[in-house]
Chains A and B, each alone.
Chain A
Amino acid sequence: MDYYLGVFQTIGVHTLLGLSAYILLLTGQVSMAQIGFFAIGAYSSGVLTVIFSWNIYPALAFGALLASFFAFLVGFPALRVKGLMLVIATIAFSEIVRLITFNFVWMVEKDGIMVGAEGAQGFREIRYFTTNGWDSSQVVLLIWIFVAIVMAMLWWLDRVKAGAVLRAVGNDELAAQSSGINLTTVKVAAMTAGGFIAGLGGGLYAHAVSYVDHITFTILMATFAISYPILGGTKNVFGTLLAVIFIQGILIEAFRFLEDWRLIIFGLLIILVMNFMPDGLVSIFKKSNPGKGN
Protein backbone atom coordinates (compact mmCIF):
# COMPACT_ATOMS: atom_id res chain seq x y z
CA MET A 1 0.00 0.00 0.00
CA ASP A 2 2.72 2.42 0.99
CA TYR A 3 4.43 1.72 -2.27
CA TYR A 4 1.42 2.88 -4.25
CA LEU A 5 1.05 5.92 -2.05
CA GLY A 6 4.65 6.72 -2.86
CA VAL A 7 3.93 6.47 -6.57
CA PHE A 8 0.90 8.76 -6.24
CA GLN A 9 2.99 11.19 -4.28
CA THR A 10 5.68 11.27 -6.95
CA ILE A 11 3.13 11.70 -9.72
CA GLY A 12 1.46 14.55 -7.85
CA VAL A 13 4.67 16.43 -7.21
CA HIS A 14 5.92 15.93 -10.74
CA THR A 15 2.58 17.12 -12.09
CA LEU A 16 3.07 20.40 -10.24
CA LEU A 17 6.56 20.61 -11.68
CA GLY A 18 5.25 19.88 -15.17
CA LEU A 19 2.43 22.41 -14.86
CA SER A 20 4.90 25.07 -13.81
CA ALA A 21 6.74 24.46 -17.06
CA TYR A 22 3.45 24.22 -18.95
CA ILE A 23 2.41 27.78 -18.21
CA LEU A 24 5.75 29.04 -19.54
CA LEU A 25 5.55 26.83 -22.56
CA LEU A 26 2.23 28.44 -23.41
CA THR A 27 4.14 31.67 -23.97
CA GLY A 28 6.71 29.83 -26.05
CA GLN A 29 9.39 29.88 -23.37
CA VAL A 30 11.32 26.70 -22.74
CA SER A 31 12.53 27.04 -19.19
CA MET A 32 14.98 24.77 -17.41
CA ALA A 33 14.69 26.95 -14.31
CA GLN A 34 11.69 25.15 -12.86
CA ILE A 35 13.81 22.79 -10.82
CA GLY A 36 15.63 25.79 -9.36
CA PHE A 37 12.32 27.25 -8.21
CA PHE A 38 11.35 23.82 -6.89
CA ALA A 39 14.55 23.74 -4.85
CA ILE A 40 13.91 27.19 -3.45
CA GLY A 41 10.43 26.14 -2.37
CA ALA A 42 11.72 22.90 -0.85
CA TYR A 43 14.52 24.44 1.17
CA SER A 44 12.75 27.58 2.34
CA SER A 45 9.59 25.83 3.51
CA GLY A 46 11.74 23.15 5.12
CA VAL A 47 13.71 25.75 7.04
CA LEU A 48 10.46 27.32 8.22
CA THR A 49 8.86 24.17 9.56
CA VAL A 50 12.03 22.59 10.90
CA ILE A 51 13.99 25.51 12.29
CA PHE A 52 11.23 28.00 13.01
CA SER A 53 8.55 25.41 13.77
CA TRP A 54 6.02 27.07 11.48
CA ASN A 55 2.78 25.46 10.55
CA ILE A 56 2.91 23.67 7.20
CA TYR A 57 0.50 25.93 5.31
CA PRO A 58 2.20 29.28 5.85
CA ALA A 59 5.52 27.54 5.26
CA LEU A 60 4.34 26.18 1.92
CA ALA A 61 2.91 29.56 1.00
CA PHE A 62 6.13 31.30 1.91
CA GLY A 63 8.20 28.78 -0.09
CA ALA A 64 6.01 29.27 -3.12
CA LEU A 65 6.12 33.05 -2.80
CA LEU A 66 9.88 33.10 -2.42
CA ALA A 67 10.25 30.88 -5.47
CA SER A 68 7.93 33.12 -7.45
CA PHE A 69 9.91 36.15 -6.34
CA PHE A 70 13.07 34.58 -7.72
CA ALA A 71 11.18 33.64 -10.85
CA PHE A 72 10.15 37.26 -11.19
CA LEU A 73 13.81 38.31 -10.89
CA VAL A 74 14.96 35.69 -13.37
CA GLY A 75 12.18 36.79 -15.70
CA PHE A 76 13.81 40.09 -16.50
CA PRO A 77 17.28 39.09 -17.70
CA ALA A 78 15.69 36.04 -19.30
CA LEU A 79 13.42 38.35 -21.27
CA ARG A 80 16.34 39.80 -23.10
CA VAL A 81 17.00 36.44 -24.61
CA LYS A 82 14.77 34.07 -26.46
CA GLY A 83 14.67 30.46 -27.41
CA LEU A 84 18.05 28.81 -27.14
CA MET A 85 19.64 31.52 -25.04
CA LEU A 86 16.79 31.31 -22.58
CA VAL A 87 17.44 27.61 -22.23
CA ILE A 88 21.11 28.22 -21.46
CA ALA A 89 20.34 30.99 -18.99
CA THR A 90 17.77 28.93 -17.13
CA ILE A 91 20.08 25.91 -16.99
CA ALA A 92 22.71 28.14 -15.42
CA PHE A 93 20.15 29.44 -12.94
CA SER A 94 19.09 25.98 -11.85
CA GLU A 95 22.70 24.91 -11.46
CA ILE A 96 23.44 27.98 -9.35
CA VAL A 97 20.52 27.14 -7.07
CA ARG A 98 21.59 23.52 -6.87
CA LEU A 99 25.16 24.52 -5.92
CA ILE A 100 23.81 26.90 -3.31
CA THR A 101 21.81 24.08 -1.71
CA PHE A 102 25.00 22.03 -1.88
CA ASN A 103 26.74 24.68 0.22
CA PHE A 104 23.77 25.70 2.32
CA VAL A 105 24.27 25.08 6.03
CA TRP A 106 21.72 26.19 8.59
CA MET A 107 21.51 23.94 11.61
CA VAL A 108 20.13 24.47 15.04
CA GLU A 109 19.84 22.28 18.09
CA LYS A 110 16.36 21.05 18.84
CA ASP A 111 15.47 18.62 21.59
CA GLY A 112 19.11 17.69 21.86
CA ILE A 113 19.71 16.94 18.19
CA MET A 114 20.99 19.08 15.39
CA VAL A 115 18.42 19.70 12.66
CA GLY A 116 18.46 21.68 9.46
CA ALA A 117 20.32 21.85 6.19
CA GLU A 118 23.81 20.42 6.28
CA GLY A 119 25.46 21.39 3.01
CA ALA A 120 26.40 18.42 0.88
CA GLN A 121 24.73 16.07 3.38
CA GLY A 122 21.43 17.58 2.41
CA PHE A 123 18.47 18.65 4.47
CA ARG A 124 17.31 15.78 6.68
CA GLU A 125 14.50 15.24 9.08
CA ILE A 126 11.89 17.51 7.56
CA ARG A 127 9.40 15.75 9.75
CA TYR A 128 6.46 18.08 10.07
CA PHE A 129 3.98 15.48 8.91
CA THR A 130 5.12 12.64 11.14
CA THR A 131 5.52 14.75 14.26
CA ASN A 132 2.06 16.17 13.74
CA GLY A 133 0.48 12.80 13.27
CA TRP A 134 -0.32 12.86 9.57
CA ASP A 135 -0.29 9.48 7.93
CA SER A 136 0.98 9.01 4.41
CA SER A 137 -2.43 8.82 2.80
CA GLN A 138 -3.29 12.22 4.23
CA VAL A 139 -0.07 13.64 2.85
CA VAL A 140 -0.84 12.24 -0.58
CA LEU A 141 -4.33 13.67 -0.35
CA LEU A 142 -2.94 17.10 0.50
CA ILE A 143 -0.61 16.97 -2.50
CA TRP A 144 -3.45 16.01 -4.81
CA ILE A 145 -5.70 18.72 -3.46
CA PHE A 146 -3.03 21.22 -4.48
CA VAL A 147 -2.61 19.51 -7.84
CA ALA A 148 -6.35 19.76 -8.39
CA ILE A 149 -6.43 23.42 -7.41
CA VAL A 150 -3.56 24.30 -9.73
CA MET A 151 -5.05 22.32 -12.59
CA ALA A 152 -8.41 23.98 -12.08
CA MET A 153 -6.82 27.42 -12.06
CA LEU A 154 -4.93 26.73 -15.27
CA TRP A 155 -8.08 25.31 -16.81
CA TRP A 156 -9.95 28.45 -15.88
CA LEU A 157 -7.10 30.60 -17.17
CA ASP A 158 -7.72 29.22 -20.63
CA ARG A 159 -11.25 30.56 -20.44
CA VAL A 160 -10.35 34.16 -19.71
CA LYS A 161 -8.42 36.72 -21.66
CA ALA A 162 -5.17 36.10 -19.78
CA GLY A 163 -4.97 32.57 -21.13
CA ALA A 164 -5.64 33.66 -24.68
CA VAL A 165 -2.91 36.25 -24.32
CA LEU A 166 -0.40 33.68 -23.09
CA ARG A 167 -1.10 31.51 -26.11
CA ALA A 168 -1.05 34.50 -28.42
CA VAL A 169 2.46 35.31 -27.23
CA GLY A 170 3.45 31.69 -27.74
CA ASN A 171 2.00 31.65 -31.24
CA ASP A 172 3.57 34.84 -32.53
CA GLU A 173 5.33 37.30 -30.26
CA LEU A 174 5.47 40.00 -32.84
CA ALA A 175 1.83 39.84 -33.79
CA ALA A 176 0.94 39.82 -30.10
CA GLN A 177 3.04 42.89 -29.51
CA SER A 178 1.48 44.55 -32.52
CA SER A 179 -1.93 43.78 -31.03
CA GLY A 180 -1.03 45.83 -28.00
CA ILE A 181 0.34 43.17 -25.69
CA ASN A 182 3.22 44.09 -23.45
CA LEU A 183 5.59 41.15 -23.76
CA THR A 184 7.48 42.03 -20.61
CA THR A 185 4.36 41.90 -18.49
CA VAL A 186 3.13 38.67 -19.97
CA LYS A 187 6.40 36.79 -19.88
CA VAL A 188 7.42 37.92 -16.43
CA ALA A 189 3.92 37.12 -15.14
CA ALA A 190 4.10 33.64 -16.65
CA MET A 191 7.55 33.13 -15.15
CA THR A 192 6.33 34.29 -11.75
CA ALA A 193 3.29 32.04 -11.82
CA GLY A 194 5.44 29.12 -12.94
CA GLY A 195 7.86 29.85 -10.10
CA PHE A 196 4.98 29.80 -7.62
CA ILE A 197 3.70 26.44 -8.78
CA ALA A 198 7.18 24.90 -8.82
CA GLY A 199 7.93 26.33 -5.37
CA LEU A 200 4.72 24.87 -4.02
CA GLY A 201 5.65 21.50 -5.50
CA GLY A 202 9.10 21.74 -3.94
CA GLY A 203 7.68 22.48 -0.49
CA LEU A 204 5.25 19.58 -0.69
CA TYR A 205 7.94 17.25 -1.92
CA ALA A 206 10.43 18.14 0.82
CA HIS A 207 7.85 17.51 3.55
CA ALA A 208 6.45 14.39 1.95
CA VAL A 209 9.81 12.64 1.64
CA SER A 210 11.39 14.40 4.66
CA TYR A 211 14.78 14.60 2.99
CA VAL A 212 16.15 16.64 0.11
CA ASP A 213 19.63 17.33 -1.13
CA HIS A 214 21.26 18.85 -4.17
CA ILE A 215 21.01 15.64 -6.17
CA THR A 216 17.23 16.12 -6.18
CA PHE A 217 17.70 19.27 -8.23
CA THR A 218 19.88 18.27 -11.17
CA ILE A 219 19.41 19.09 -14.83
CA LEU A 220 17.79 15.68 -15.20
CA MET A 221 14.87 16.91 -13.10
CA ALA A 222 14.73 20.14 -15.08
CA THR A 223 14.50 18.02 -18.20
CA PHE A 224 11.70 15.95 -16.69
CA ALA A 225 9.85 19.16 -15.86
CA ILE A 226 9.95 20.54 -19.37
CA SER A 227 9.43 17.20 -21.08
CA TYR A 228 6.01 16.65 -19.44
CA PRO A 229 4.22 19.51 -21.20
CA ILE A 230 6.22 18.86 -24.35
CA LEU A 231 5.27 15.20 -24.47
CA GLY A 232 1.74 15.85 -23.27
CA GLY A 233 1.20 18.81 -25.52
CA THR A 234 -0.11 22.24 -24.64
CA LYS A 235 -3.68 21.73 -25.75
CA ASN A 236 -4.81 21.52 -22.14
CA VAL A 237 -3.52 20.72 -18.67
CA PHE A 238 -4.43 17.05 -18.83
CA GLY A 239 -1.72 16.35 -21.37
CA THR A 240 0.87 17.21 -18.76
CA LEU A 241 -0.79 14.96 -16.20
CA LEU A 242 -0.88 12.09 -18.69
CA ALA A 243 2.77 12.57 -19.55
CA VAL A 244 3.71 12.46 -15.86
CA ILE A 245 1.69 9.29 -15.37
CA PHE A 246 3.35 7.81 -18.41
CA ILE A 247 6.91 8.70 -17.45
CA GLN A 248 6.86 8.48 -13.66
CA GLY A 249 4.12 5.91 -13.26
CA ILE A 250 4.94 3.57 -16.10
CA LEU A 251 8.48 4.19 -17.30
CA ILE A 252 10.08 4.83 -13.91
CA GLU A 253 7.89 2.81 -11.52
CA ALA A 254 6.32 -0.05 -13.46
CA PHE A 255 9.62 -0.77 -15.18
CA ARG A 256 11.59 -0.77 -11.93
CA PHE A 257 13.19 -4.07 -12.95
CA LEU A 258 14.93 -2.27 -15.79
CA GLU A 259 16.95 -0.34 -13.19
CA ASP A 260 19.25 2.24 -14.68
CA TRP A 261 18.12 1.36 -18.19
CA ARG A 262 15.03 3.45 -17.47
CA LEU A 263 16.91 6.70 -17.73
CA ILE A 264 18.57 5.52 -20.89
CA ILE A 265 15.10 4.82 -22.24
CA PHE A 266 13.96 8.26 -21.11
CA GLY A 267 16.73 9.82 -23.19
CA LEU A 268 15.82 7.63 -26.14
CA LEU A 269 12.14 8.48 -25.74
CA ILE A 270 12.79 12.20 -26.04
CA ILE A 271 14.91 11.63 -29.14
CA LEU A 272 12.22 9.48 -30.74
CA VAL A 273 9.37 11.85 -30.00
CA MET A 274 11.31 14.80 -31.36
CA ASN A 275 12.18 12.87 -34.51
CA PHE A 276 8.74 11.58 -35.28
CA MET A 277 6.47 14.25 -33.81
CA PRO A 278 8.51 17.43 -33.61
CA ASP A 279 5.42 19.56 -33.57
CA GLY A 280 2.63 17.06 -33.50
CA LEU A 281 2.79 17.01 -29.76
CA VAL A 282 4.11 20.49 -29.43
CA SER A 283 2.35 22.96 -31.60
CA ILE A 284 4.14 25.61 -29.60
CA PHE A 285 7.37 24.72 -31.32
CA LYS A 286 5.94 25.70 -34.65
CA LYS A 287 7.51 29.10 -34.51
CA SER A 288 6.80 31.70 -37.07
CA ASN A 289 9.77 33.00 -38.93
CA PRO A 290 11.46 35.51 -36.62
CA GLY A 291 13.29 37.34 -39.38
CA LYS A 292 11.26 39.73 -41.42
CA GLY A 293 8.53 41.70 -39.83
CA ASN A 294 6.26 42.29 -42.77
Chain B
Amino acid sequence: MSILKVDNLCKNFGGVQAVNGLNFEINEGEIFGLIGPNGSGKSTTINVICGLYQPSEGSIFLNGKKINGFKPNQCVDMGISRTFQNIRLFGDLTVWQNLWVAWKDDRKNQGSWFSNWFGKSESREKLISELLSFSGLETRANDLASNLSFGEQRRLELARAVASKPKLIFLDEPAAGMNKEEVKELRDRIFRLRDLGITIFLVEHVMDLVMNVSNRITVLNFGKAISEGDPESVQNDKAVQEAYFGQ
Protein backbone atom coordinates (compact mmCIF):
# COMPACT_ATOMS: atom_id res chain seq x y z
CA MET B 1 0.00 0.00 0.00
CA SER B 2 1.37 3.41 -0.81
CA ILE B 3 1.96 5.80 2.05
CA LEU B 4 3.16 8.80 0.02
CA LYS B 5 2.27 9.72 -3.51
CA VAL B 6 3.76 12.69 -5.31
CA ASP B 7 2.14 13.84 -8.48
CA ASN B 8 3.82 16.18 -10.98
CA LEU B 9 5.63 18.05 -8.22
CA CYS B 10 7.26 21.32 -9.29
CA LYS B 11 9.11 23.96 -7.36
CA ASN B 12 10.79 26.98 -8.86
CA PHE B 13 12.76 29.72 -7.16
CA GLY B 14 12.51 32.73 -9.39
CA GLY B 15 13.92 31.38 -12.62
CA VAL B 16 15.45 28.21 -11.17
CA GLN B 17 13.41 25.06 -11.72
CA ALA B 18 14.64 23.16 -8.65
CA VAL B 19 12.05 20.40 -9.00
CA ASN B 20 10.36 19.89 -12.30
CA GLY B 21 7.46 17.46 -12.67
CA LEU B 22 8.44 14.76 -10.24
CA ASN B 23 6.24 11.66 -9.79
CA PHE B 24 6.77 8.82 -7.38
CA GLU B 25 5.00 6.61 -4.94
CA ILE B 26 6.39 5.11 -1.74
CA ASN B 27 5.08 1.92 -0.24
CA GLU B 28 4.54 1.51 3.44
CA GLY B 29 7.50 -0.02 5.20
CA GLU B 30 10.02 0.34 2.39
CA ILE B 31 13.24 2.29 2.16
CA PHE B 32 13.11 4.63 -0.77
CA GLY B 33 16.30 6.22 -2.05
CA LEU B 34 16.55 9.53 -3.88
CA ILE B 35 19.89 10.30 -5.42
CA GLY B 36 21.25 12.77 -7.92
CA PRO B 37 24.15 15.15 -8.52
CA ASN B 38 24.59 18.31 -6.47
CA GLY B 39 21.86 20.84 -6.99
CA SER B 40 19.54 18.37 -8.66
CA GLY B 41 16.69 19.23 -6.30
CA LYS B 42 16.79 16.47 -3.68
CA SER B 43 16.65 18.70 -0.64
CA THR B 44 14.06 20.86 -2.30
CA THR B 45 11.88 17.79 -2.81
CA ILE B 46 12.06 17.04 0.90
CA ASN B 47 11.45 20.64 1.83
CA VAL B 48 8.36 20.86 -0.33
CA ILE B 49 6.90 17.61 0.99
CA CYS B 50 7.64 18.55 4.59
CA GLY B 51 5.94 21.91 4.28
CA LEU B 52 8.90 24.29 4.22
CA TYR B 53 7.94 25.49 0.78
CA GLN B 54 4.67 25.57 -1.09
CA PRO B 55 4.87 23.47 -4.23
CA SER B 56 4.66 25.62 -7.37
CA GLU B 57 2.60 22.89 -9.00
CA GLY B 58 1.50 19.34 -8.39
CA SER B 59 0.13 17.52 -5.42
CA ILE B 60 1.32 15.46 -2.48
CA PHE B 61 -0.81 12.73 -0.95
CA LEU B 62 -0.11 11.13 2.39
CA ASN B 63 -2.20 7.99 2.86
CA GLY B 64 -4.48 9.34 0.17
CA LYS B 65 -4.92 12.71 1.88
CA LYS B 66 -3.71 15.78 0.06
CA ILE B 67 -1.19 17.65 2.19
CA ASN B 68 -0.19 20.46 -0.17
CA GLY B 69 0.58 23.66 1.65
CA PHE B 70 0.56 22.11 5.12
CA LYS B 71 2.86 23.81 7.57
CA PRO B 72 5.86 21.79 8.77
CA ASN B 73 4.26 21.19 12.17
CA GLN B 74 1.05 20.00 10.54
CA CYS B 75 3.12 17.55 8.53
CA VAL B 76 4.61 16.29 11.78
CA ASP B 77 1.10 15.84 13.15
CA MET B 78 0.30 13.81 10.05
CA GLY B 79 3.20 11.49 10.85
CA ILE B 80 6.07 12.88 8.77
CA SER B 81 9.38 13.92 10.21
CA ARG B 82 12.80 14.74 8.89
CA THR B 83 16.44 15.56 9.40
CA PHE B 84 18.27 18.43 7.74
CA GLN B 85 21.23 18.38 5.42
CA ASN B 86 23.00 20.95 7.59
CA ILE B 87 22.25 19.71 11.06
CA ARG B 88 19.76 21.96 12.82
CA LEU B 89 19.66 21.19 16.52
CA PHE B 90 18.56 23.41 19.38
CA GLY B 91 22.03 24.37 20.50
CA ASP B 92 21.03 25.99 23.80
CA LEU B 93 19.11 22.92 24.89
CA THR B 94 20.48 19.71 26.31
CA VAL B 95 20.34 16.45 24.39
CA TRP B 96 17.46 15.36 26.56
CA GLN B 97 15.57 18.59 25.96
CA ASN B 98 16.08 18.34 22.22
CA LEU B 99 14.23 15.05 22.26
CA TRP B 100 11.68 16.35 24.72
CA VAL B 101 10.70 19.21 22.44
CA ALA B 102 9.95 16.87 19.58
CA TRP B 103 8.41 14.12 21.69
CA LYS B 104 4.75 13.33 21.10
CA ASP B 105 2.60 10.96 23.06
CA ASP B 106 0.78 8.11 21.40
CA ARG B 107 -2.63 9.01 20.08
CA LYS B 108 -4.32 6.57 22.41
CA ASN B 109 -2.81 7.46 25.76
CA GLN B 110 -2.48 11.13 25.02
CA GLY B 111 -2.22 13.04 28.28
CA SER B 112 -3.96 16.29 29.02
CA TRP B 113 -2.86 19.54 27.53
CA PHE B 114 -1.40 20.56 30.85
CA SER B 115 0.60 17.42 31.46
CA ASN B 116 1.98 17.63 27.94
CA TRP B 117 3.36 21.12 28.38
CA PHE B 118 4.04 21.32 32.09
CA GLY B 119 3.91 17.87 33.59
CA LYS B 120 5.79 14.63 33.71
CA SER B 121 4.83 11.41 31.99
CA GLU B 122 6.20 7.92 32.28
CA SER B 123 5.75 7.07 28.64
CA ARG B 124 7.82 10.10 27.80
CA GLU B 125 10.68 9.17 30.12
CA LYS B 126 10.63 5.71 28.65
CA LEU B 127 10.61 6.83 25.04
CA ILE B 128 13.36 9.37 25.54
CA SER B 129 15.64 6.91 27.30
CA GLU B 130 14.97 4.41 24.53
CA LEU B 131 15.91 7.04 21.98
CA LEU B 132 19.06 7.89 23.90
CA SER B 133 20.23 4.31 23.80
CA PHE B 134 19.10 3.99 20.19
CA SER B 135 21.43 6.82 19.29
CA GLY B 136 24.17 5.90 21.76
CA LEU B 137 23.89 9.18 23.63
CA GLU B 138 22.98 7.87 27.08
CA THR B 139 26.01 9.46 28.69
CA ARG B 140 25.43 12.81 27.06
CA ALA B 141 21.80 13.32 28.00
CA ASN B 142 22.50 16.45 30.02
CA ASP B 143 25.06 18.05 27.73
CA LEU B 144 24.19 20.98 25.54
CA ALA B 145 23.55 19.96 21.96
CA SER B 146 26.02 22.56 20.74
CA ASN B 147 28.79 20.77 22.66
CA LEU B 148 28.32 17.46 20.86
CA SER B 149 30.73 16.20 18.25
CA PHE B 150 29.61 16.19 14.65
CA GLY B 151 28.77 12.49 14.66
CA GLU B 152 26.83 12.81 17.90
CA GLN B 153 24.88 15.75 16.51
CA ARG B 154 23.87 13.66 13.51
CA ARG B 155 22.70 10.87 15.78
CA LEU B 156 20.78 13.26 17.99
CA GLU B 157 19.05 14.80 15.01
CA LEU B 158 17.96 11.39 13.83
CA ALA B 159 16.68 10.55 17.31
CA ARG B 160 14.82 13.84 17.44
CA ALA B 161 13.12 13.03 14.16
CA VAL B 162 12.03 9.69 15.62
CA ALA B 163 10.78 11.29 18.84
CA SER B 164 7.66 12.59 17.17
CA LYS B 165 6.67 9.00 16.35
CA PRO B 166 6.55 9.37 12.58
CA LYS B 167 5.18 6.91 10.06
CA LEU B 168 7.45 8.29 7.38
CA ILE B 169 10.85 9.81 7.95
CA PHE B 170 12.95 11.88 5.53
CA LEU B 171 16.71 11.72 5.90
CA ASP B 172 18.68 14.36 4.01
CA GLU B 173 22.21 13.05 3.55
CA PRO B 174 22.48 11.45 6.98
CA ALA B 175 25.88 9.91 6.17
CA ALA B 176 27.60 13.07 4.96
CA GLY B 177 30.95 13.50 6.64
CA MET B 178 30.87 10.11 8.36
CA ASN B 179 33.60 7.50 8.33
CA LYS B 180 33.07 3.87 7.30
CA GLU B 181 32.36 2.68 10.84
CA GLU B 182 29.80 5.40 11.43
CA VAL B 183 28.10 4.68 8.13
CA LYS B 184 27.75 1.08 9.20
CA GLU B 185 26.16 2.10 12.47
CA LEU B 186 23.84 4.40 10.60
CA ARG B 187 22.83 1.57 8.31
CA ASP B 188 21.93 -0.56 11.32
CA ARG B 189 19.87 2.26 12.74
CA ILE B 190 18.02 2.71 9.48
CA PHE B 191 17.21 -0.99 9.45
CA ARG B 192 16.01 -0.82 13.02
CA LEU B 193 13.68 2.01 12.18
CA ARG B 194 12.36 0.07 9.22
CA ASP B 195 11.81 -2.94 11.47
CA LEU B 196 9.72 -0.69 13.71
CA GLY B 197 7.49 -0.12 10.72
CA ILE B 198 8.71 3.35 9.81
CA THR B 199 8.92 4.10 6.12
CA ILE B 200 12.16 5.76 5.14
CA PHE B 201 12.94 8.29 2.44
CA LEU B 202 16.68 8.50 2.07
CA VAL B 203 18.60 11.18 0.20
CA GLU B 204 22.24 10.26 0.10
CA HIS B 205 25.48 10.74 -1.79
CA VAL B 206 27.20 7.80 -0.12
CA MET B 207 26.39 5.20 -2.74
CA ASP B 208 27.49 2.31 -0.59
CA LEU B 209 24.74 3.10 1.85
CA VAL B 210 21.85 3.88 -0.53
CA MET B 211 22.54 0.94 -2.79
CA ASN B 212 22.65 -1.38 0.19
CA VAL B 213 19.59 -0.31 2.12
CA SER B 214 17.12 0.94 -0.49
CA ASN B 215 14.33 -1.15 -1.88
CA ARG B 216 13.85 1.26 -4.75
CA ILE B 217 15.73 4.29 -5.97
CA THR B 218 14.82 7.32 -8.03
CA VAL B 219 17.55 9.36 -9.68
CA LEU B 220 17.10 13.08 -10.04
CA ASN B 221 18.85 15.41 -12.44
CA PHE B 222 17.94 19.06 -12.92
CA GLY B 223 14.76 18.48 -10.95
CA LYS B 224 13.59 15.62 -13.17
CA ALA B 225 13.55 11.89 -12.52
CA ILE B 226 15.86 10.31 -15.06
CA SER B 227 15.75 6.77 -13.79
CA GLU B 228 13.95 4.63 -11.27
CA GLY B 229 13.97 1.04 -10.15
CA ASP B 230 15.81 -1.32 -7.86
CA PRO B 231 19.39 -0.41 -6.92
CA GLU B 232 20.97 -2.68 -9.48
CA SER B 233 19.04 -1.48 -12.50
CA VAL B 234 19.61 2.12 -11.53
CA GLN B 235 23.31 1.53 -11.14
CA ASN B 236 23.51 0.10 -14.63
CA ASP B 237 21.42 2.81 -16.23
CA LYS B 238 23.39 4.76 -18.89
CA ALA B 239 21.47 7.95 -18.21
CA VAL B 240 22.47 7.85 -14.55
CA GLN B 241 26.13 7.40 -15.32
CA GLU B 242 25.98 10.29 -17.73
CA ALA B 243 24.29 12.52 -15.19
CA TYR B 244 26.93 11.73 -12.60
CA PHE B 245 30.07 11.59 -14.69
CA GLY B 246 29.17 13.61 -17.75
CA GLN B 247 29.45 12.31 -21.29
Residues of chain A at the chain B interface (Cβ within 8 Å): 160-162, 164-165, 167-168, 170-172, 174-183, 283, 288, 293-294
Contacts and interface: CB of A to CB of B under 8 A. Distances in A.
List the 6 shortest-distance A-B pairs measured between CB atoms, nearest first.
Answer: A180-B76, A294-B43, A179-B102, A175-B88, A177-B72, A293-B52
B106 to A, nearest CB: 14
Interface SS, A side: helix
B90 A176 contact: yes
Interface string B80-93: 01101110111111
Contact of A176 (B82, B101, B163): B101
A179 B119 contact: no
A294 B172 contact: yes
Among B50, B53, B118, chain A packs the most CB atoms within 10 A around the CB of: B118
A99 to B, nearest CB: 36
Contact of A160 (B43, B76, B93, B117): B117
B167 interface: no
A178 B92 contact: no
Contacts of A293: 43, 47, 52-53, 84
Interface string B141-176: 000000000000000000011011000000010000
Contact of A177 (B53, B71, B85, B92): B71
B134 interface: no
Chain B interface category by residue count: 35 or more
B93 A171 contact: yes
Nearest to A158: B97
Nearest to B173: A294
B110 to A, nearest CB: 13
B172 A179 contact: no
Interface of B: 43-44, 46-47, 50, 52-53, 71-73, 76-77, 81-82, 84-86, 88-93, 97-98, 100-104, 116-119, 160-161, 163-164, 172
Contacts of B85: 294
Given A160-B118, A180-B102, A294-B172, A175 B73 contact: no
B118 A162 contact: yes
Contacts of B84: 175, 178, 293-294
A178 B92 CA distance: 17
B92 A174 contact: no
Given A164-B93, A171-B90, A171-B91, A177 B73 contact: yes
A168 B90 contact: yes
Contact of B92 (A162, A171, A175, A179): A171
Contacts of A160: 117-119
A176 B101 CA distance: 8
Nearest to A185: B73
Contacts of B164: 179-180
A292 B93 CA distance: 23
Given A175-B90, A178-B81, A293-B52, A164 B76 contact: no
